[in-house]
């Protein structure tokens, strides 16, 4: 049996869109499903070196759940490159100030670290609240 690889000309121009409601769901479960859809691993013609993924819309990002002591113990770190300029922010503070950042960083960490990563992240749309601006894409709702 011969394995066939899809050609670039055979890739559909329009990506399918999926809607994930993050209310009451853990960050990891939302992020793994979003990363799976963005990479295209749910498709039968998945190919690692081609961008066959679909778009993902995440709503209710502020209602996402962190299990255990992650709310107080998990730290998000950033460094400017200068000595002593390491900034640490707890997950509780990030969730209060920018709730979309928690989901975005979780999905970013689950995507492969290659040149297709930025194109996949451009198809990830995260919203606070139940309203989103992508009704025209007619997203299909996913239950997690």
Contact assessment for residue 21 and residue 141, using Cβ atoms and an 8 Å cutoff? yes
Q: What percent of the chain has pLDDT over 70?
A: 100
> DSSP letters of 15-79?
PPEEEEE-TT-BHHHHHHHHHHHHHTTTSTT--TTS----EEEEE-GGG-B--TTHHHH-EEEEE
In this prediction, residue 94 carries a pLDDT of 97
Mean pLDDT of 112-132: 96
Average pLDDT, whole number, for the chain?
94
Band of residue 124 on the pLDDT scale cut at 50, 70, 90:
very high
Question: Rounded mean pLDDT of 115-135?
Answer: 96
Residue 42 lies in a domain: yes
Query: pLDDT tens digit string along 19-73?
Result: 999 999 999 999 999 999 999 999 988 888 888 899 999 999 999 999 999 999 9
Residue 72 forms part of a structural domain: no
Q: What is the pLDDT of residue 8?
A: 79
CATH (domain of 114): 3.90.1180.10
Domain limits for position 104: 15-65+99-142
In this prediction, residue 5 carries a pLDDT of: 81
Considering the domain boundaries, does residue 81 fall inside one? Answer: no
On whether residue 121 sits in a domain, the answer given is: yes
pLDDT at 79 over 80: yes
What pLDDT does 4 receive? 80
């Amino acid at each position: 049996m011969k394995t066939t690889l899809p050609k670039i000309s055979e890739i559909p121009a329009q990506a399918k869109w999926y809607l994930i409601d993050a209310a009451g769901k853990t960050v990891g479960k939302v992020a793994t499903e979003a990363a799976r859809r963005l990479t295209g691993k749910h498709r039968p013609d998945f190919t690692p070196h081609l961008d066959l993924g679909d778009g993902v819309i995440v709503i209710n990002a502020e209602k996402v759940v962190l299990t255990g002591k992650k709310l107080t113990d998990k730290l998000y770190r950033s460094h400017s490159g200068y000595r002593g300029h390491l900034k640490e922010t707890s997950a509780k503070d990030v969730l209060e100030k920018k709730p979309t950042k928690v989901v975005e960083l979780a999905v970013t960490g689950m995507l492969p670290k290659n040149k297709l990563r930025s194109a996949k992240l451009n198809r990830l749309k995260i919203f606070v609240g139940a309203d989103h601006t992508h009704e025209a894409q007619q997203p299909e709702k996913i239950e997690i």
